[in-house]
Structures are given as structure tokens and as C-alpha cells.
Amino acid sequence: MSATPATPLAHDADALLQRLGVPRAAYTGGDLPVRSPITGETLGAVPQSTPAQVAAAIGRAQAAFLEWRNLPAPRRGELVRLLAQELRAARDELGGLVTLEAGKIPSEGQGEVQEMIDICDFAVGLSRQLYGLTIATERPGHRMMETWHPLGVCGVITAFNFPVAVWSWNAALALVCGNAVVWKPSEKTPLTALATLAIARRALERFGAAPAGLLELIVGQRATGQALVDDARVALLSATGSTAMGRAVGPRLAARFARGILELGGNNAAIVAPTADLDLALRGIAFAAMGTAGQRCTTLRRLFVHDSVYQTLVPRLIGVYGRVQVGDPRSPGTLVGPLIDRMAFDGMQQALAQSRALGATVHGGNRVEGIAGDAAYYVRPALVELARHEGPALHETFAPILYVLRYRSLDEAIALNNAVGAGLSSSIFTLDMREAEQFLSAAGSDCGIANVNIGPSGAEIGGAFGGEKETGGGREAGADSWRAYMRRATNTINYSTALPLAQGVTFDIDG
Ligand code: NAD
């Protein structure tokens, strides 16, 4: 790839990257081609990090950590405040680049950057609230407390579908907690990562006192991620991606007793109960199931509709599926953009074929031609009516397929909600307080996210994000997720002249 953009989309990407301050050498002439799902065109070619460069980046981050940890946390928060300012200034350009590289419609591309700004704002406040407990002690003249200390280098591996927001969820918290960050973005979306680092560099320059190596970027595929996973200098590894990736990463982290935050696949459900506000449910289901072309970890994939409202709701939903505008995400009115690549398209068609073989009724799901050339994959979202909860519905297919099933009792619907490997997100549409509370109770949804009268997707950063079971158990972003980025020390201080031992133990020595 030459320095002159060869295609119209590459031209747009180049213009955005230049405005964002990314040097051309960072995205031309490299060995990792980057293609846009909008047309399949090549946007650039990024040099991949060699093993030696990866090791050096981790080394720089480790050295930076040793300095950074000594800055008071509110001072560290100042860097994150500047990062939020820079992100605000670059919102349109970075959001536009997310659209070109990941295929999101503009409001979702911009929304992703807004999420970065939100987590930075959250982290700035947090930088003055890294609280530890003071604990009652049984010994007179003693005080017991916990203190929270910076942890070390945080490795961050991210997926293509949230190419920038997930880095910021981790980086904003890691920075205020006193850590350095090494980021391995998806090999499908390195351009937005380069742009994010260019934005962060401006914040670092304005801050002035940050050590070099505080925010590092390494580019590459699975092997590059593995190098980060296996490096003993990486104290915490936050990995976002498929459950298959988590199965590979989890044991390697455990083998060296490293901390992990695993944010893996979802197979999210919603229940539509007899009292549901069906207009609201329809909108909630449509966004959650078709938004981002079904490529969110929290995408609604399974819908359980009470027998009494099935005939009212499902035909309306099928109508919406037939009419929703599929197209170039930059075209006005488009709600469903492209799939990321051919592999995603093939996976979707395979799941639909398996469903048909099981006797399911499939609405939509076909390739939509005439939007771009053969190298882009646009599909009409699929709604699949099932008679039984079986087959591909039990696993995540990262494409817009909504499996729909009737239910008769809430117990049955909750059991179905929980009857899959993943445990990320879930919701119920009901106006019956008893049903809503049962769904949220200990005997209800087993997911990390459980909602009432909104769909399972589109979380805010204020709450802890993540899920159970095959979703990996990690939590990041809001609430007390910051604790994962720090180490806790319990301190007992004796300000008396005696030395009473805990549990009444006596140990009297001579002299
Ligand atoms: P993926 O698993 O193919 O890749 C994700 C990242 O992991 C990439 O950077 C990849 O290079 C890296 N990777 C893959 N195998 C690795 C290994 N063995 N060691 C180290 N690194 C490795 O996922 P994807 O296709 O980019 O993204 C889609 C998947 O991510 C879906 O399953 C989706 O549900 C999930 N996801 C989860 C969350 C969440 O927060 N739970 C958020 C976004 C996406």
C-alpha cells in the first residue's frame, strides 16, 4: 500500500487519521492489511509488533508503573481528565473512524466515543474515592485497616466490535489506580487503536509529568496477545472476546497466578410477559437484537414470549425485521450496517441452515445485494421461530439472529434464560411487579446484567459490566470494578505497649 490512498474509503480513513494526528507510516506499508466492512476495501496496512517490540513495550510499561504509582491518585486523575477533554475534541473524527473500520452506524460510532468520555469522567471522580475500610479489631490499642495499592502493568486485549471503548473502560480505571497499560487491539481494528493512542498522547503531553511507556500499544494477532498473556511482568490481563479466546487465555493466566478479567461471549435473552407494554417491548427488542448488526456481546439472541401475547407481538416483530433499513452505515436511515467479514456471514448462514434442519421457521437472514461489492457482507436480520430450545440457539453466533420461543410459566422462561453456557445479559418486559422481582431475585436470571423493561444491550458505564459462567466472570467499568486494578493490603497497627495476640493465643517467652 502506498502513502497515497487508493480507494475512496481509504481516502476518508486517511483524512480522519491525519486529522487525529496519526503518522502515515503507522498505517501504510505494514504487513497487517485493514479492511472496511462497508465495502471490503483496504483502508491501510499496519506494521505488526515483533516479539522483541512486544517485550520492549512491556518493559517500558513496567518502568513507567514504578514511577506512576508514586503520584497521588487525584493527580493521576488529572491525566484522565485531560484524556476526556481530548476525546471530546476528537469525538467526531474517532467516531467516524469507528464507522469506517467496524461498520457501525454514525450514532453508534459516536456513542462508542461518548462511552470513552463517560468512563474517563467516572474515573476522575474515582481518583478521590479509592476507599479502604477501617475494621473493628478485637485487640485493645490496635487499629486495623485496608489500603489499596497500584498493581502493575495491565494488559488489555480487545475485540473488534467495541474497538475503542473497551480499552478506555480498562485504561481510565487502570491509570487512576496507578498502573501502566499495554493494549493489544483486535487485528481487525488497529486503525482506531492507533488514533486512540494519538489522542492519548496529546493528553500525556499536556499533563507533562507522565513517564514514557505509561500507555503502550502493540499490534498483532493471537500470538501477540499470547505474548502479553504469558509475560510475568503483566500483573493483570483484561481480555475481551469470544469464549474460545477465554478458554485459551484463562488457564495460561492461572498457570502463572496472574489476575484476569475475562469479558467473553454472551447468549442473551429477553422475556416478554403477559402484562408487557408491547410497544415498548417491540422497540427494546428491535434495538437489542438488530443494533450493531447483532455484533454486540449483549445483543439479544433469544426471545421468550408468553403464549398469550405471542400472536400480537411476533407478527409485528417479523414486519419490523422485513422493513428495517439495511445498508451502508453512512447512509441516512440505515439501522443495520454490515457484518464484519465473510467468516461472520458464513457462521450466520450455517446457524440458519442448522435451525431449518431442526424444523424452525426462518424469516429473513438472506444476503442483501446491491449495497456494495462482493467483498462486503450485508444481511437482513433473521428472526427464527423455534418449537424447542435447541441447536444453534444454545450458542452465540455473532450475527443478527433472534430465536423466538413461546413459554407458558415464568419459571419455565427463567429456566430457559439460564439454560445456556453464557451468562452475560438478560431482561424481562413486564408491568407485574412480582414477575419483575422474581426475575431479579436469587432464583431469577443468572446473568451479570438483568434488566426490566429495557433490552439486554446498551449498558451505561456507571454499573459494573460483565457476566457469569462462560462469559468469564469479569467485571469492568463502573461500581467497584476498580478494585480489580489494585492490590489490597490489610494493616494492623499496635499503638499500645502490650502485645495481645489474636484469638487469645498466649506465647510468653523468657526475657
Ligand atoms: P476474538 O475472540 O476472535 O478476538 C478478541 C481478541 O482476542 C483479539 O484481539 C484477538 O487477537 C485476541 N485473541 C484471540 N485468541 C487469543 C489467544 N489465544 N490469546 C490471546 N489473545 C487472543 O473475538 P472477536 O471476534 O474480536 O469479538 C467478538 C467476540 O467478543 C464475541 O464473542 C463477543 O461476545 C465478545 N465480546 C465480549 C464482550 C464482553 O464485554 N463480554 C465485549 C465485546 C465482545
The reply to whether 96 and 228 lie within a common domain is yes
Strands 361-363 and 382-385: antiparallel
Q: How many C-beta atoms surround the C-beta of residue 400 within 10 A?
A: 28
The reply to whether 184 and 275 lie within a common domain is no
Residue 263 CA to residue 242 CA, distance in Å, equals 8
Residues 200, 86: contact at Cβ < 8 Å?
yes
For ligand 1, is residue 471 a contact (CB within 6 Å)?
yes
Q: Maximum Cα–Cα distance for the chain, whole Å? A: 92
Residue 131 belongs to some domain of the structure? yes
The reply to whether 174 and 290 lie within a common domain is no
Domain that holds residue 155: 50-264+472-490
The reply to whether 234 and 344 lie within a common domain is no
Residue 149 belongs to some domain of the structure? yes
Output Rg (C-alpha) for the chain, integer angstroms. 25
Task: Find the 126 Cα to ligand 1 centroid distance in Å.
Answer: 28
Residue 8 belongs to some domain of the structure? no
Residue 464 CA to residue 49 CA, distance in Å, equals 32
The reply to whether 447 and 476 lie within a common domain is no
**Which of the residues are catalytic?**
263
For ligand 1, is residue 317 a contact (CB within 6 Å)?
no
Residue 251 CA to residue 61 CA, distance in Å, equals 24
Residues 179, 151: contact at Cβ < 8 Å?
yes
If you search the block for the grid coordinates 481516502, which residue do you land on? 11
The reply to whether 351 and 278 lie within a common domain is yes
Residue 173 belongs to some domain of the structure? yes
For 455, list phi and psi in degrees, rounded to 5.
-75, 180
Count: domains in the chain: 2
Residue 505 belongs to some domain of the structure? no
The reply to whether 358 and 390 lie within a common domain is yes
Residues 448, 424: contact at Cβ < 8 Å?
yes
Q: How many C-beta atoms surround the C-beta of residue 191 within 10 A?
A: 28
Residue 55's contacts (CB-CB under 8 Å, 6 or more residues apart) are 227, 231
Q: How many C-beta atoms surround the C-beta of residue 278 within 10 A?
A: 17
The reply to whether 254 and 324 lie within a common domain is no
Q: How many C-beta atoms surround the C-beta of residue 156 within 10 A?
A: 27
For ligand 1, is residue 160 a contact (CB within 6 Å)?
yes
Closest-lying ligand 1 atom to the alpha carbon of residue 244 = 2
Residue 112 CA to residue 115 CA, distance in Å, equals 5
Residue 207 belongs to some domain of the structure? yes
Residue 96 CA to residue 225 CA, distance in Å, equals 27
CATH of the domain at 200: 3.40.605.10
Each residue's pLDDT expressed in tens, for the chain with a length of 511 residues:
344 445 689 999 999 999 999 999 999 999 999 999 999 999 999 999 999 999 999 999 999 999 999 999 999 999 999 999 999 999 999 999 999 999 999 999 999 999 999 999 999 999 999 999 999 999 999 999 999 999 999 999 999 999 999 999 999 999 999 999 999 999 999 999 999 999 999 999 999 989 999 999 999 999 999 999 999 999 999 999 999 999 999 999 999 999 999 999 999 999 999 999 999 999 999 999 999 999 999 999 999 999 999 999 999 999 999 999 999 999 999 999 999 999 999 999 999 999 999 999 999 999 999 999 999 999 999 999 999 999 999 999 999 999 999 999 999 999 999 999 999 999 999 999 999 999 999 999 999 999 999 999 989 999 999 999 999 999 999 999 999 999 999 999 999 999 999 999 999 999 8
The reply to whether 236 and 365 lie within a common domain is no
Residue 13 belongs to some domain of the structure? no
CATH of the domain at 349: 3.40.309.10
Residue 34 belongs to some domain of the structure? no
The reply to whether 328 and 214 lie within a common domain is no
The reply to whether 217 and 302 lie within a common domain is no
The reply to whether 87 and 104 lie within a common domain is yes
CA distances from 122 to 79, 172, 187, 334 (A): 13, 9, 29, 32
Task: Find the 128 Cα to ligand 1 centroid distance in Å.
Answer: 33
For ligand 1, is residue 183 a contact (CB within 6 Å)?
no
Residue 411's contacts (CB-CB under 8 Å, 6 or more residues apart) are none
Cell of 226: 499470547
Task: Find the 208 Cα to ligand 1 centroid distance in Å.
Answer: 34
